[in-house]
Amino acid sequence: MPDDKKLFKVTIDNITIEVEPGTSILNAARKIGGDVAPPAMCYYSKLKGSGGKCRTCLVEVSQGSTADPRPMPKLVASCRTNVMDGMVVKNITSEKVIDARNGVVEFLLINHPLDCPICDQAGECDLQDLSYEHGTEGTRFEFVRRTFEKHDLGPYIQLHMTRCILCYRCVFAADQLTDKRQHGILDRGDHSEIATYIKQSLDHDFIGNVIDVCPVGALTDKTFRFKNRVWFLKPQDAHRDCPRCAGKVRLWTRGEEVFRVTARRDQWGEVEDWICNECRFEKKKASDWVIEGPTLISRHSVISAGHYVGMKMPREPLPEVMGGRKPKLLMDIHSVSEVNDPNIDLSKIEGPAHSTDFVNKG
Amino acid sequence: MGRKLLLEKAHVEGIRGYEVYRREGGYRSVEKALKSMTPDQVTDEVKKSGLRGRGGAGFPTGMKWSFIAKPEGVPRHLVCNADESEPGTFKDRYLMEFIPHLLIEGLIVSSFALGSNVTYIYIRGEYAWITDILEQAIAEAKQNGWLGKNILGTGFDLEIYVHRGAGAYICGEETALLESLEGKRGNPRIKPPFPAVKGVWDRPTVVNNVETLAAVVPIINFGSEEYAKIGVGKSTGTKLISACGNINKPGVYEIDMTISVEEFIYSDEYCGGIPNGKKLKACIPGGSSVPILPANLLLKTAKGDTRIMNYESLADGGFPKGSMMGSGGFIVFDEDQCVVRHTLTLARFYRHESCGQCSPCREGTGWMEKILKNIECGKGKISDIDLLWDIQRKIEGNTICPLGDAAAWPVAAAIRHFRDEFEWHVTHAEEAQKRNYGLAHYADPLVVA
């Protein structure tokens, strides 16, 4: 009998599932998957104590349990509320939840710089995805946004506090992965900031993981900043024999070049195995790694989730202009162009033409 | 004159010292409880007395005590919340300053009931001189055998420590208080688990307000039945009210929760009316975070009954037409006061004091303050008022701790009852800035000018 664990039945958005006692509503919803899973900006299943802060995962509990069927009076944070037997939860079927979630997204965005076009996180940013789903087109905030100076946290990491949404994930990560956390939250309220004590640098073998847990572009990889856009890069799973960490990483390549190395993430955007700084920052050659093969990107990002697939595209005028010729380069449509070198016959270049093909060849 | 239980002896010469306090009948309840009662009997007495938490929420104290988990071999703690920082509330300061031994006595009896051998007083940092008074009182109590090992030969040990906060309003929230007591940043914890199960250092903990713990003394001395006779309905016993604002006699008053609001404001025994023959415009009956009430709704409920100074009557009508007893910070506004400016002041306070942990409160409080500042400075738009309403609606109930609600309620109530004053500030920007006070037509119907 003692081994015979009783499972709790919980109904989320009219889908019933059985989970083990002690599971949070969020994790139960993730088992169902799809749109039923509430978004989470601060909760991170691998970091103890995280969650409850961002309030994007609020859900409505319309029946507490079979034993006590009263509804909960307020919306609850699904990441930090455990399921009860017979609980009925409304997530996307509740107007109250959607309204509150839209409100939270608006709050998160009022002081966020919205500098996505120059932000390295764009394309894999949780906040970008969230505002795509729940944000409004304009803002009702008519004041100067909060800004901070950029701040180098040692040789590898840059802190751009202006973009931070104070999810505390990096604090938990540094606290739980390293033995000497040197950064935390200073000050309070809307003027609080992530900082180190008088600009100390973050110095630990595993500190690079704070970049991966950051849901926005507040903590970025200095070895990758402004090198490329993530959606141009091809993710590939790779591994190496690392004495410090599991060595299982994701390489982000374009052509032969490895632009950055990150930890592997699961479908909820959470790191599977923490990786060390050496793997992340020092091993930037394909020859350092055993490549396992291309990675299928999860639904995680706006861009990779194919939000733009199936859109009606405007009529493409290029084929008409070209009159049957196949362009190798957009420049080709000009018969004579200042940037184009008339001495180079594009049709004789192998593969797609590259700007380097035009240098010093005329 | 209502019966006084807490402040009866507060002005006896030298009551701050142990000798006089003892001579005036102090520490009798400790003798009674420790020698003739079991801890459960003490808890039962408190339960039967109907005592409700005096810190603001009004939760029945006896019930709170009975929730404390009692696992084998794990110490339990009582923590006294003396982090009184709600604007308009200064009753605990008065009690601790003038009659500190009453709190120590209440703490000993309550610790006995809860089985706490180490009890803490978390006092707000600004009360530096009261910290000294309390430490003096604790030292005296210890010298005379009321604290330490084997008190009165009953085998009950107790130590009381005073811990000073560092000036954060949020540390008055019980779980933030516990974090701060543990030496961490004062961020409220996510509940559950509640402190009664996992409190300070993960041990079962009860956090009670100063006045609540002091009220345990008369409950044990006179018995729960006698105590429950004072007051009406579920509002038993006496309550300290700290009255301030536009009144003739600001100060701390002990009331027995049967007097009407009108009597409290106008009688000479209490606030003594409004100075300079001005009219009553509005009042915040329970500390800055509870909804403001205009005069017509303050003196009479929406049903037309006389409003009484107690938990039920002040809350009558719900938030649309009522308010809350709260912590007893009674702030009175006369006809010259501007509700917009007042709301801005509160919004600035809550923005400054938000811990910044959860998004709606962190961002929303700052946003509300900025909009209110615009309206106050004559740069507002009519649509700003609706925007404010929408923001407060999205903060309320969606935050980790009640600070979000506390920031949202005053704004909501001000717009609900004084919307035309906000509109007047927008449409008459120049005049509003010159006058710097509001419209007066909410004035008290009782006083004929």
User: What's A169's domain CATH number?
Assistant: 3.30.70.20
From the CA of B322, how many Å to the nearest CA of chain A?
A: 20
Put simply, whether A143 touches B (Cβ < 8 Å) is yes
| Share above pLDDT 70 across residues of chain B, in percent, rounded to a whole number | 96
Residue B346 has pLDDT above 80, yes or no: yes
Return phi, psi of residue B102, to 5°: -65, -40
pLDDT of B444 over the 70 cut: no
User: What CATH number is given for B18-229 in this structure?
Assistant: 3.40.50.11540
Is the same domain home to A84 and A182?
Answer: no
Q: Where are the domains of chain B?
A: 18-229, 235-334, 339-435
Q: How many structural domains is chain A composed of?
A: 3
CB B298 within 8 A of CB B282: yes
Domain assignment of residue A45, yes or no = yes
CATH topology of domain B339-435: de novo design (two linked rop proteins) (1.20.1440)
- A74, A77, A72, A146: which is closest to A107 by C-alpha? A146
Best of B175, B179, B355, B362 to disrupt the A interface (most A CBs within 10 Å) is: B362
Within-domain flag for A58: yes
| Cα B348 to Cα B373: distance, rounded to the nearest angstrom | 9
Q: What are the φ and ψ backbone dihedral angles of B129, each rounded to 5 degrees?
A: -70, -25
| Residues of B within an 8 Å Cβ radius of A | 168, 170, 185, 190, 351-360, 362-367, 370, 387, 393-394, 397-400
Q: Which residue has the higher pLDDT, B323 or A347?
A: B323
Q: How many CB pairs under 8 A join A and B?
A: 89
First to last CA, chain B: 29
Q: Do B357 and A187 touch (CB under 8 A)?
A: no
CB B422 within 8 Å of CB B344:
no
In this structure, are A149 and A54 located in the same domain?
no
How high is the pLDDT of residue A353?
65
Q: What is the mean pLDDT of residues B251-262?
A: 93
At residue B133, φ and ψ (nearest 5 deg) are: -60, -45
Q: Indicate if A224 and A122 belong to the same structural domain.
A: yes
Smallest CA–CA distance from A193 into chain B, residue: B356
CA separation, residue B260 to residues B245, B298, B316, B323 (Å):
18, 10, 13, 15
The nearest CA of chain B is from the CA of A76 a distance in Å of 8
On whether both A236 and A122 belong to a single domain, the answer is yes
- Does residue A260 lie in a domain region? yes
Query: Is there a contact between B394 and A106 if contact means CB atoms under 8 Å apart?
Result: yes
What is d(CA B299, CA B263) in angstroms, rounded to the nearest whole number? 9
Tens place of pLDDT per residue across chain A (362 aa) = 455 678 999 999 999 999 999 999 999 999 998 888 999 999 999 999 999 999 999 999 999 999 999 999 999 999 999 999 999 999 999 999 999 999 999 999 999 998 888 999 988 899 998 988 888 888 899 999 999 998 888 889 999 999 999 999 999 999 999 887 888 898 888 889 898 877 778 888 899 999 999 999 999 999 999 998 888 888 899 999 999 998 999 999 988 899 999 999 888 889 999 999 999 999 999 899 999 988 876 545 555 554 445 555 556 666 666 666 665 655 554 444 444 555 667 667 666 666 666 665 44
Q: Do B357 and A168 touch (CB under 8 A)?
A: yes
Q: Are residues A163 and A238 in the same domain?
A: yes
- Are A129 and A272 in a shared domain? yes
A148 in contact with B, Cβ within 8 Å? no
A312/B contact by beta carbon, under 8 A? no
Domain match, A88 and A17 both: yes
Q: Please indicate, yes or no, whether residues A241 and A341 belong to a single structural domain of this protein.
A: no
Q: What range defines the domain where residue A348 resides?
A: 322-358
CA–CA separation, B312 vs B64, rounded Å? 20
Clarify whether residues A205 and A275 are in a common domain. yes
Say yes or no: A220 and A152 in one domain: yes
CB contact under 8 A, A108 and B363: yes
Give this complex's ipTM.
Answer: 0.89
Same domain, A329 and A200: no
Of the candidates A279, A294, A309, which is a domain's last residue? A294
Q: What pLDDT score does B445 carry?
A: 45
State the Cα–Cα distance between residues B340 and B330, nearest whole angstrom.
Answer: 19
- B368, B398, B399, B403, best to mutate vs chain A, most A CBs in 10 Å: B398
Which residues neighbour A75 within 8 Å (Cβ) at sequence distance 6 or greater? A58, A59, A60, A96, A97, A100, B397, B398
Third-level CATH fold of B235-334: Ubiquitin-like (UB roll) (3.10.20)
A352: tokens are: 């797609």
Taking the CA of residue B176 and the nearest CA in chain A, the distance in Å comes to 13
- Nearest by CB to residue B185, choosing from A141, A185, A190, is A185
Please give the C-alpha separations between residue B102 and each of B4, B16, B43, B97, in angstroms, as whole numbers.
14, 9, 18, 11
Spatial CA neighbour of B5 closest among B216, B251, B210, B146:
B216
Same domain, A61 and A175: no
Point out the residue among A54, A165, A188 whose CB comes nearest to the CB of B354: A188
Record: contact A52-B190, CB cut-off 8 A: yes
CATH code of the domain containing A40:
3.10.20.740
Q: Residue B74: what residue type?
A: V
pLDDT of residue B434: 72
- Residue A309 included in any domain: no
Is position A3 within any domain?
A: no
